[in-house]
């Protein structure tokens, strides 16, 4: 494999899962020195994942082996070491650096019997002490470090807030539609004055039949886009702008709401020529009094309103998500808990949650299907991204990880959940499915037995 300069100073970190916390501390310390690294953070050491690991080892410019009582004899670490030895044979400049803790140096003979290696004993030392030797081995002197540029500030955001209250189910002529009262407000960027709309009654122009057509088009048609299925898809495609215009007409059906939209569409930056971003926020408030049946009906209607294809909003000229507006759409439920705005900063901290409930009837989701493309995409961003994988897929573990990150002043900006979800019709809301704590413990014990 030919070297490319961007990878010559990248480090592969080989370690046991029990040493993950220390390795991630080393990874952050290397990132502070401007040294990118890659680790098998997903521990998806199954099947064709071996090919991915071998390729990653070969692509890097250095291989760091963290040798501890937990990692010694680990079969997958041996496979990674073999890949590193092969890379060094092909590229004499390939750097191999063993870090030893709690073992005698002679243990290295099990892994590298054919040559002298410079190793570092970390007994009594923090793992951060390895950063300088690694940097020197990569010939990355302090004077060579190029400071990362400050993040590019985000352009100002102007918001079109669509608030729907008193959700209910409207029945007429055998048809069911979500209904309520809608108000459209323009919230400008900065301290400029906004425009308040006025609440008016609405009946959704799209119901369960149209929703099922759209679901089929987005989720099923791509698997067999031929024959009669293509004919059905063509008819649905013709309806998309019509549905978008019907939603738009519903929002601007009153003079005040239309005025709010016009102000949002004409908004400009504070400075001449400044780029501005536009957003559409859909808020559905299903709070109210009444019986349990009343609350269930409100929740069901709220779910239908949130599920409307707001991304299709069309002002009779173009979809609002494209053209001059390029507006993004987000959905929100009301909350009484005010959260402080999170200031964007690098590195972007991402928490990956892999939840695999072991319940009867719950199909297994292969984590490689989504997590490998995610890690490969993030890997291209280098030290601008800090990915952490949650050790357990339980709700308690997620809560603890988020609270700990807040306490130490390193909060996560993104939580990526990979797992099952369900729809709770009694509440009209979707829910995520986490593992039970004892399921996670049982899975961990099973993994240890397989590796022993």
| pLDDT at residue number 218 | 86
* Residue 205 φ/ψ region, left for φ over 0, alpha for ψ in the -120 to 50 degree band, beta for the rest: alpha
Distance CA(195)–CA(160), nearest Å, equals 10
Distance CA(281)–CA(163), nearest Å, equals 8
> What residues are paired with 175 via a beta bridge?
172
| pLDDT at residue number 116 | 59
| pLDDT at residue number 401 | 92
Please give the average pLDDT of every successive group of 10 residues along the chain, which has 452 residues: 52 87 87 79 51 80 89 83 87 85 82 72 84 77 47 83 94 88 92 89 91 89 88 95 95 94 88 84 89 86 91 93 89 74 79 82 71 80 84 88 88 89 61 74 53 46
Q: CATH number of 11-144: 3.40.50.10140, 3.40.50.170, 2.160.10.10, 1.20.120.530?
A: 3.40.50.10140
Q: Please choose, from the candidates 137, 109, 135, 164, the residue with its C-alpha nearest in 3D space to the C-alpha of residue 34.
A: 135
> What residues are paired with 32 via a beta bridge?
none
| pLDDT at residue number 164 | 95
Distance CA(150)–CA(128), nearest Å, equals 25
CA distances from 336 to 287, 339, 340 (A): 11, 10, 13
Widest pairwise Cα distance in the chain: 84
Distance CA(386)–CA(412), nearest Å, equals 9
Domain ranges of the chain: 11-144, 157-332, 348-451
Query: What is the side-by-side strand order in the sheet with 348-354?
Result: 385-389, 348-354, 414-418
| pLDDT at residue number 450 | 47
3-state secondary structure the chain: CCCCCCCCCCEEEECCHHHHHHHHHHHHHHHHCCCCEEECCCCCCCCCHHHHHHHHHHHCCEEEEEECCCCCCCHHHHHHHHHHHHHHHHCCCCEEEEEECCCCHHHHHHCCCCCCCCCEECCCCCHHHHHHHHHHHCCCCHHHCCCCCCCCCCCCEEEEEEEEEEEEEEEECCEEEEEEEEEEEEECCCCCCCECCCCEEEECCCCHHHHHHHHHHHHCHHHCCCHHHHHHHHHHHHHHHHHHHHHHHHHCCCHHHHHHHHHHHCCCCCCCCCCCEEEEEEEEECCCCCCHHHHHHHHHHHHHHHCCCHHHCECCCCECCCCCCCCEEEEECCCCCCCCCCCCCCCEEEEEEECCCCCCCCCCCCCHHHHHHHHHHHHCCHHHEEEEECCCCEHHHHHHHHHHHHHCCCCCCEEEEECCEEEECCCCEEEECCECHHHHHHHHHHHHHHHC
Identify whether the C-beta of residue 180 lies closer than 8 Å to the C-beta of residue 164: yes
């Amino acid at each position: 494999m030919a070297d490319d300069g961007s990878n010559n100073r990248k480090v592969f970190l080989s370690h046991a899962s029990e040493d993950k916390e220390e390795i991630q501390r080393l990874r952050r310390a290397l990132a502070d020195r401007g040294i990118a690294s890659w680790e098998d953070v997903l521990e998806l050491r199954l099947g064709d994942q071996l090919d991915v690991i071998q390729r990653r080892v070969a692509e890097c410019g250095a291989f760091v082996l963290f040798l501890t009582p937990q990692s010694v004899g680990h079969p997958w670490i041996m496979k990674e070491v073999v890949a590193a030895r092969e890379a060094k044979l092909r590229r004499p400049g390939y750097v191999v650096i063993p870090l030893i803790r709690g073992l005698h140096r002679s243990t290295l003979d099990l892994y590298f019997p054919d040559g002298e290696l410079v190793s570092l004993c970390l007994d009594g030392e923090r793992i951060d002490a390895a950063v300088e030797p690694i940097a020197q081995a990569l010939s990355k002197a302090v004077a060579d470090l190029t400071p990362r540029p400050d993040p590019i500030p985000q352009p100002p955001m102007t918001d079109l807030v669509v608030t729907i209250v008193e959700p209910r189910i409207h029945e007429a002529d055998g048809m069911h539609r979500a209904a309520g009262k809608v108000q459209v407000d323009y919230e400008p960027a900065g301290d400029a004055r906004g425009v308040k709309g006025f609440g008016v009654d609405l009946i959704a122009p799209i119901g369960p039949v149209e929703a099922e057509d759209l679901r089929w088009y987005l989720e099923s048609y791509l698997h067999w886009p031929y024959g009669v299925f293509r004919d059905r898809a063509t008819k649905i495609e013709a309806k998309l702008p019509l549905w978008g215009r019907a939603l738009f007409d519903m929002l601007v059906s009153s003079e005040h709401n239309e005025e709010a939209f016009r102000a949002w569409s004409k908004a400009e930056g504070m400075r001449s020529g400044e780029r501005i971003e536009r957003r559409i926020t859909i808020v559905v408030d299903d709070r109210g009094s009444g019986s349990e049946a009343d609350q269930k009906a409100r929740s069901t209607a709220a779910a239908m309103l949130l599920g409307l294809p707001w991304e299709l909003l069309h002002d009779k000229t173009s979809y609002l998500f494209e053209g001059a507006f390029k507006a993004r759409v987000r959905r929100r439920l009301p909350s009484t808990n005010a959260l402080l705005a999170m200031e964007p900063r690098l590195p972007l901290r991402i928490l990956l949650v892999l939840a695999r409930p072991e319940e009867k009837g719950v199909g297994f989701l292969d984590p490689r299907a989504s997590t490998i493309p995610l890690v490969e995409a993030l890997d291209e961003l280098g030290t601008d991204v800090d990915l952490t994988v949650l050790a357990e897929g339980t709700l308690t573990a997620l809560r603890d990880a988020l609270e700990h990150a807040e306490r130490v002043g390193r909060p996560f900006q993104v939580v990526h959940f990979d797992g099952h979800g369900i729809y709770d019709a009694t509440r009209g809301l979707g829910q995520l499915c986490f593992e039970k704590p004892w399921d996670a413990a049982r899975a961990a014990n099973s993994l240890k037995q397989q590796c022993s």
